[in-house]
């Protein structure tokens, strides 16, 4: 059986992620998340309608109604949960191919679930599976919902300023933002060229979106646009492009946002939250700007927990999950794009030129070493090898070795001022890891 985890479940639709499992998850989630109704949205995958119906059946079996908001970005579901004090669910597999699907859950208030909530939901699923018990098929109680308030909030996040005269390319990955991203930017006055906005159930993330930014880069250059933004399948993360077609990654977006917020007095406690994967160049830039950093393990859930624990307002990941905590409860690709373009217009700078001036990306080499089993005391057994490489790299280099939480893989990452040096150091550390197998 699929294990329910930190960000819900994600697997191949109908072979692993079956309607029966999703029905059971709907029932378990409804019993744990406490509400008379649950807000439910989905992305554009072919499997979405049937799996959403199964989830709604599970909710109905537990006596809970579904507020159906249709095909929407994940952040819209989270925003509505926060606005209405209801739990929520999103049927999506994010940047995965169309064959996969998943269920992301939000507690009332738009927050990701606590470990305790996850454990109780998993216990319900395990109990049903061990007893061979299938959730009875109940007729869903469905209430039609709307995300207009969410759209208003994103448009209103720039306090009445506009993007008139700017041409913007939007790549929606044939996913959740295929309609909403264009609506938002056009309401703000931008001239929009919309790409990958014709979902057919199977073309989501297919060579487009934030995972394949080359498509966006070429389009920005060909159209002579001022900027471009690409989202993933459920629109909770972003890649950006300047007028020259230069790619701007999550670290750069967070750095630019941190500096802009600091200058406006909107960077709470003068601190930004990042993960261990943040580029060394980001760290150098923040130190130079006298901005404090709080580091978390990989995962936007950890970033959000740190934001709330410290009362901070900005955090995110290199992958493009960016959380403006005073505006949202989760990463929001379209909101981040709006905030970033607004900042560039106020500063009268091109996004690409600004990104290049804010930070220098250090070469970063990452290699995954597949292992037959988990290695006990990995850090201790590799300590000497890591110290040796760090002494070679000096202050302009960094080593990070961590075990994956979802598969038998050890991830070896090295940053250095020189790409060849990073690659050579990575190779030596990979060899050291393999000797432990």
As annotated, the active-site residues are 94
CB 362 within 8 A of CB 416: yes
CB 88 within 8 A of CB 78: yes
- Which tokens hold the place of 240? 């950006």
- Which tokens hold the place of 386? 């890591």
CB 219 within 8 A of CB 169: yes
Distance CA 360, CA 128 (A): 52
Location of structure tokens 């537990």: 62
Sequence-distant (6+) residues with CB within 8 A of 292 are 269, 270, 271, 272, 286
Determine how many CB atoms are found less than 10 A away from the CB of residue 431.
Answer: 12
SS3 106: strand
- Which tokens hold the place of 153? 């909030």
Please, what is the angle between helix 333-347 and helix 148-156, to 10°? 20
Task: Please give the biggest Cα pair distance in the chain.
Answer: 65
SS3 230: strand
| Residues facing residue 40 across a β-bridge | 68, 89
Dihedrals phi, psi of 140, to nearest 5 degrees: -65, 145
Helical (H) or strand (E) element with 242: strand 238-242
DSSP string, 49-85: HHHHHHHHHHHHHTT-EEEEEEE--HHHHHHHHHHHT
Dihedrals phi, psi of 403, to nearest 5 degrees: -90, 140
The bridge status of strand 227-231 relative to strand 167-171 is parallel
Based on C-alpha coordinates, what's the Rg of the chain?
A: 22
Tell which residue, 331, 343, 346, 267, has the closest CA to residue 299: 331
Determine how many CB atoms are found less than 10 A away from the CB of residue 214.
Answer: 13
Location of structure tokens 């606005």: 83
Location of structure tokens 């931008």: 190
């Amino acid at each position: 059986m699929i294990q329910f985890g930190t960000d819900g479940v994600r697997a191949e639709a109908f072979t692993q992620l079956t309607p029966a499992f999703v029905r059971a998850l709907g029932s378990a989630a409804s019993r744990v998340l406490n509400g008379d109704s649950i807000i439910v949205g989905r992305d554009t995958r072919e499997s979405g309608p049937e799996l959403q119906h199964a989830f709604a059946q599970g909710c109905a079996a537990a006596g809970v109604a579904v507020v159906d908001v249709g095909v929407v970005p994940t952040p819209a579901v989270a925003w509505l949960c926060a606005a209405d004090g209801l739990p929520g669910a999103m049927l999506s597999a994010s940047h995965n191919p169309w064959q996969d699907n998943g269920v992301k859950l939000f507690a009332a208030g738009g927050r990701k679930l606590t470990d305790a909530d996850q454990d109780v939901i998993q216990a319900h699923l395990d109990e049903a599976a061990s007893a061979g018990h299938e959730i009875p098929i109940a007729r869903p109680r469905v209430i039609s919902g709307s995300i207009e308030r969410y759209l208003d909030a994103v448009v209103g996040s720039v306090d009445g300023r506009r993007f008139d005269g700017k041409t913007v390319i939007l790549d929606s990955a044939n996913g959740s933002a295929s309609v909403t991203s264009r609506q938002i930017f056009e309401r703000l006055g931008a001239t929009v060229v919309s790409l990958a906005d014709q979902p057919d159930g199977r073309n989501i993330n297919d060579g487009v979106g934030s995972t394949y930014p080359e498509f966006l880069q070429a389009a920005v250059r060909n159209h002579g646009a001022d900027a471009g933004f690409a989202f993933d399948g459920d629109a909770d993360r972003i890649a950006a492009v300047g007028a020259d077609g230069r790619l701007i990654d999550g670290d750069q977006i967070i750095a630019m946002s941190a500096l802009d917020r600091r200058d406006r007095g909107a960077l709470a406690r003068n601190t930004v939250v990042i993960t261990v994967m943040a580029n060394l160049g980001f760290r150098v830039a923040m130190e130079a700007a006298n901005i404090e950093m709080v580091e978390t393990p990989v995962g936007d859930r950890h970033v959000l927990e740190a934001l709330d624990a410290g009362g901070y307002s900005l955090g995110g990941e290199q992958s493009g999950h960016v959380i403006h905590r005073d505006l949202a409860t989760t990463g929001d690709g379209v909101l981040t794009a709006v905030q970033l373009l607004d900042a560039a217009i106020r500063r009268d700078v091109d996004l690409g030129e600004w990104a290049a001036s804010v930070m220098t990306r250090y070469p970063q080499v990452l290699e995954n070493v597949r292992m037959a089993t988990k290695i006990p005391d990995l850090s201790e057994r590799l300590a000497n090898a890591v110290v040796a490489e760090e002494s070679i790299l000096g202050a302009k280099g960094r080593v990070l070795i961590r075990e994956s939480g979802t598969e038998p893989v050890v991830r070896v990452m090295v940053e250095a001022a020189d790409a060849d040096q990073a690659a050579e150091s990575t190779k030596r550390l990979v060899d050291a890891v393999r000797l432990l197998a």
